[in-house]
Structure 1
Amino acid sequence: MRILACLTAALLGAALTLPNPPQAAAADDPSWQTCIGSATAPGDRVTACTAVIDGKTQTGRHLAGAYCNRGHGLTEKRELDAALADLNEAIKLDPAFACAYTNRGRVYAFKQDLDHAIADYDEAIRIDPGFAMAYNNRGDAWLNKGDLDRALADLNLAIKYGPQLSTAYGNRGFVYYRKHDAAHAIADFTTEIKLDPNVLAYINRGNVYRDAEQLDRAAADYGEAAKLAPTDARGWRNRGLIRLFQNDIKGGIADYDKALQYDPADVYSWNNRGQAKLRLGDKKGAAADFRKALEMQPDLKTAKEALARLDGAR
């Protein structure tokens, strides 16, 4: 599941025409523009918003927005306590700032404080009943609390109010997957892919196809994930497993070679490549892979048993 952050540029746009502007006009303040820019990197956002705050160039909701956006940047850097302090200040400056409540809820979610997260999303929705992002994030929190029905209800509302919000389709697809509703899960992941082709969407849809034993479709989705992000091990190792299921042993080994190149800490890739090498008769290579897996997870039963059989056959 994915929880979304809220930036304040759109919400603050109308405030640029106030008759009594802050000391520096927002439109002419480069630090402010970087602070609210949707493409600004987290570190740059923190620096720019700090310049706005310390320079006292903005007041009112603009100042609250600077704290809110700096809180967003700090959240992305996983400096959660500092982010929380900024978002508290944003809400203190402007208690009717729905975006700040949503971002603070996101911080609480990352801190695994789901009750406080839900309370903040509740407040954001009370302020703005059509706030799709807040419904999406509250749905994520309900899922993490294990309440799939409440999660589904919120994600339905996220999609009602934000029909182009691709992440909400992905999150709802994951809820359907958890509810063992493969048809609806596939439909939602397909919509997400149409709106925003991304690695996780292909991986998630591939997982549904895999569980439904539609292996060719699963392999195709994992392959798309590998094309989109060739240095992300997930597409390679998932397709590698499917290729082993399909008895394409050499293809499976090739995919695990890639997976281990980009994520050498994945114990199951070592184990599975070892199993594949064993099926090809490469006992030495298989033993090396099993030993590597056991270095990382000494109680991995499949690797222990396979290595014991190899050692006993000598």
Structure 2
Amino acid sequence: MRVPISLMAVLAALVAALPVPASAEGGPAWEACVGLTSTPEERVKACSTVIDTRSESGRRLAGAYCNRGHGLTEKRELDAALSDLDEAVRLAPDYACAFNNRGRVFSFKRDYDRAIADYDEAIKLDPSLALAYSNRGESRYNKGDLDGAFADFSAAIKLDPNYATAYTNRGLVYYRKRDMAHALADYTMRIKLAPGLLAYIDRGNVYRDSEQLDRAAADYGEAIRIAPTNARGWRNRGMIRLYQGDNKGGLADYDMALQYDPSDVFSWNNRGQARMRLGDKQGAIADFRKALELRPGLPMAREALQKLGAG
């Protein structure tokens, strides 16, 4: 059975800093362009109207380019986003939003040095911008600079003690450093501020790797409650149940995991393990063969089939 040892959390993509408060004088397009609740599609459309009609100028026009760049980044239209953000920087070189958002584009392009340079500039222009510290921490983390990432995430938390994503990211650094107590504290704060599927999965993973299996199972159960059609909660709890010798419970969880994600090779393998332990030889053989179909040569599946005389 696979025993993953790395935390499966993903450093979250962060929402851009908006340039100026929305105001009635800007009209509906301006409101949607800078509105906090606008979807990426709505933001791009509205900001395009502002830009094309030249209804704004100066810093506010830079804001429209900055926010359209953000919307395009969220849509992963990175080259178009970069063009917009370059224009925002040209129009307002003292504007932290443009540098922060352009840094995110470079980060998505995995050009972490240029991303960090832009975040440096954003922080220089606005030292209170917690978002830029957290974004810079993400790029530093992706470069393997755990100490630099830790310092940035801590700075973001100091500036904004309610910044849930910064706790998640710092918790991941603690986890990588094998400081489980502090990782748990940060993930617990994340859950307090913004409970969700990944928050419980992340903390459950730390409990799992700390051999606190009942607590891990409880967190994965919360993940299932929050997102019952997401396979991650089911397959993580299934693994814990197999660890604990609850083969029927593990089988049931992997049934659900495979219902929602039939492409996960390890769910097939682990369900095969549960079936083999329960004496369902043919069912186990079928699952191990499916695992090998998805990943030819998978050692644990191949060895299990040999043990069952079906290798």
What's the TM-score bracket when you normalise by the shorter of the two chains?
Answer: over 0.9
Q: Secondary structure at the match of 2:104?
A: helix
Aligned twin of 1:25: 25
Q: CA deviation at 1:71?
A: 1.1
Q: Is the 8 A contact 1:294 1:304 kept in 2?
A: yes
The answer to whether the aligner puts 1:6 opposite 2:16 as a matched pair is yes
Aligned twin of 1:50: 48
Q: Secondary structure at the match of 1:103?
A: helix
How far apart in 2 are the matches of 1:94 and 1:284?
Answer: 68
Q: CA deviation at 1:281?
A: 1.0
Aligned twin of 1:39: 37
Q: Secondary structure at the match of 2:20?
A: helix
How far apart in 2 are the matches of 1:38 and 1:255?
Answer: 38
How far apart in 2 are the matches of 1:70 and 1:213?
Answer: 46
Aligned twin of 1:211: 209
Q: Is the 8 A contact 1:5 1:106 kept in 2?
A: no
**Unaligned regions of 5+ residues in structure 1, if any?**
17-23
The answer to whether the aligner puts 1:300 opposite 2:310 as a matched pair is no
Instruction: Report how many aligned residue pairs link the two structures.
Output: 301
Aligned twin of 1:142: 140
TM, length-normalised to structure 1: 0.92
The answer to whether the aligner puts 1:202 opposite 2:212 as a matched pair is no
**Unaligned regions of 5+ residues in structure 2, if any?**
1-10
Letter in 2 for 1:224: E
Aligned twin of 2:5: none
Q: CA deviation at 1:93?
A: 1.0
Aligned twin of 1:19: none
How far apart in 2 are the matches of 1:287 and 1:41?
Answer: 47
The answer to whether the aligner puts 1:235 opposite 2:233 as a matched pair is yes
How far apart in 1 are the matches of 2:229 and 2:75?
Answer: 22
* Higher-RCO chain (CA-CA 8 Å, sequence separation at least 6): 2
TM, length-normalised to structure 2: 0.93
How far apart in 2 are the matches of 1:39 and 1:307?
Answer: 53
How far apart in 1 are the matches of 2:159 and 2:173?
Answer: 19
Letter in 2 for 1:31: A
After superposition, give the CA deviation of every residue in 1:14-39 in whole Å (9 maximum; x if it has no partner): 8x5xxxxxxx931xx11111111212
Calculate percent identity across the aligned residue pairs.
64
How far apart in 2 are the matches of 1:312 and 1:53?
Answer: 66
The answer to whether the aligner puts 1:108 opposite 2:95 as a matched pair is no
Moved over 3 A (4+): none
After superposition, give the CA deviation of every residue in 1:134-182 in whole Å (9 maximum; x if it has no partner): 1111111111111111111111101111111110011101100000000
Q: Is the 8 A contact 2:171 2:184 kept in 1?
A: yes
